[in-house]
Amino acid sequence: MLKGKTAIVTGASRGIGKAIALSFAENGADIAVIYAGGETAAAEVVEMANAFSVKAMSFQCNVADFTQSKKVCEAIVKEFGKVDILVNNAGITKDGLMLTMSEADFDDVINVNLKGAFNFTRHLTRYIMKSPHGRVINISSVSGIAGNAGQANYAASKAGLIGFSKTITRELASRGVTSNVIAPGFIETDMTAVLPEAIIERVKSTVPLKRMGKVEEVAALALFLASSAASYITGEVIRVDGGMLT
């Protein structure tokens, strides 16, 4: 499905990013695994991807750093020769009520989740435009659509990704590049694993399907959007939330 394509996935050492990277690799794409601090975890993802007989490499990067991101993007292009698919998935949370949220916590989340996506897209646009199969996929959240108490920073960053992606759609569509957003709901990840069971059960009760989603279910949508089957889909925001916002 993606044989001969080169994909970059930020935040790919765990969770949704890892699932997307491995799904792409399983379907033939060469993979650049971007990670912030989990070197061992990133190396494991590379090893798992290589088992699918594709080229996979990991690159450490603080996606919020414009200059560092540029250097890493240049290194990726040097190693792989081209870029077809970019998945902006890297994200952090620093939750807190508006009344007590610090400026640093607001800035940190915006810088990683939103500016990080800008940095990688900005540095890779010229290469993605050259691809006959250009794809940009931004991983947002249902919080970016509906908001969420205690997540002013996170919700703002994820809402920003939606506007960012729609702008990419208008700017790059003439070059055949598609840009879409995936908005996951309550997904089983390392972030949700630390939540108290009572909170997990309460949130699940608000989901019509009455369960948490799996990272593989998000990755399946990313794979579709990255494929030729989705070549006429762009500017969309697609929820993977079990009907949570219905």
Q: Which pLDDT tens digit goes with each residue over 120-161?
A: 999 999 999 999 999 999 999 999 999 999 999 999 999 999
Q: Which pLDDT band holds residue 72 (cuts at 50, 70, 90)? A: very high
Task: Give the H/E segment covering residue 198.
Answer: helix 197-204
Q: Which pLDDT band holds residue 106 (cuts at 50, 70, 90)? A: very high
Closest to 32 in 3D by CA, of 72, 1, 3, 90? 72
- pLDDT score, position 195: 78
CB distance 138 to 166 below 8 Å: no
- pLDDT score, position 191: 74
What are the catalytic residues?
154
CB distance 13 to 42 below 8 Å: yes
Give the whole-angstrom CA distance, residue 53 versus residue 96.
44
Give the whole-angstrom CA distance, residue 57 versus residue 187.
26
3-class SS at 85? strand
Which residues lie below 8 Å from residue 195, measured CB to CB, with a gap of 6+? none
Residue-wise pLDDT for 10-39, tens only, equals 999 999 999 999 999 999 999 999 999 999
The CATH H-level (homologous superfamily) assignment of domain 6-240 is NAD(P)-binding Rossmann-like Domain (3.40.50.720)
CA quadruple 213, 188, 14, 124: dihedral positive or negative?
positive
- pLDDT score, position 23: 98
pTM of this structure: 0.96
Give the whole-angstrom CA distance, residue 11 versus residue 8.
10
Q: Where are the domains of the chain?
A: 6-240
Give the whole-angstrom CA distance, residue 38 versus residue 22.
17
- pLDDT score, position 196: 85
Query: For the chain, how far is it from start to end, CA to CA, in angstroms?
Result: 31
